[in-house]
């Protein structure tokens, strides 16, 4: 078989019909390990979008939860909700919460309308 060039890589096609059961099992293990590694890298990239102490939100079956990110785990983050519960959440399910504290321009508009 000839190698196939794909995105600057040389990929050798694998004819799985000619592999023995032991070779198929070994190939399967390597594929599973690679998929776990790629999943872990994506979780790490998603985590880096947040800092400890960041205000975040996420959806649960009971509705949207608001809380503070308190810990980075290997594949998830720990969030302490405003209700005092701890949740381990996959970082791709989090959304940042914007601070809605009043700005000086808001106070000026209020003073003008009085």
What pLDDT, on a 0 to 100 scale, did the predictor assign at position 44? Answer: 86
What pLDDT, on a 0 to 100 scale, did the predictor assign at position 80? Answer: 96
Q: Is residue 53 part of a domain?
A: yes
Q: Is residue 112 part of a domain?
A: no
Q: Is residue 37 part of a domain?
A: yes
pLDDT (tens digit per residue) in 24-67: 999 999 999 999 999 888 888 888 888 999 999 999 998 999 99
What pLDDT, on a 0 to 100 scale, did the predictor assign at position 70? Answer: 95
**Which CATH number characterizes residue 31's domain?**
2.30.30.140
Q: Is residue 2 part of a domain?
A: no
What pLDDT, on a 0 to 100 scale, did the predictor assign at position 14? Answer: 82
Domain span at 44: 19-98
Which of 67-76, 83-92, 105-114 has the lowest average pLDDT?
Answer: 105-114
pTM for the predicted model, two decimal places: 0.61
- DSSP string of the chain? ---EEETTEEE----GGG--HHHHHHHHHHHHHHHHHHHHHHHHHHHTT--TT-EEEEEETTEEEEEEEEEE-SS-EEEEETTS-EEEE-GGG-EE----PPPHHHHHHHHHH-
Domains held by the chain: number: 1
Q: Is residue 26 part of a domain?
A: yes
């Amino acid at each position: 078989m000839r190698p196939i060039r794909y995105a600057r890589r040389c990929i050798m096609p694998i004819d799985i019909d000619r592999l023995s059961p032991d070779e198929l099992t070994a190939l399967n293990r390597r594929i599973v390990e690679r998929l776990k590694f790629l999943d872990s890298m994506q979780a790490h990239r998603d985590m880096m979008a947040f800092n400890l102490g960041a205000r975040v939100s996420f959806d649960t079956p009971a509705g949207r939860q608001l809380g503070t990110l308190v810990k980075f785990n290997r594949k998830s983050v720990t969030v302490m909700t405003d209700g005092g519960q701890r949740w381990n959440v996959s970082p791709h399910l989090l959304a940042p919460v914007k601070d809605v504290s009043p700005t000086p321009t808001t106070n000026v508009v209020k003073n003008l309308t009085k």
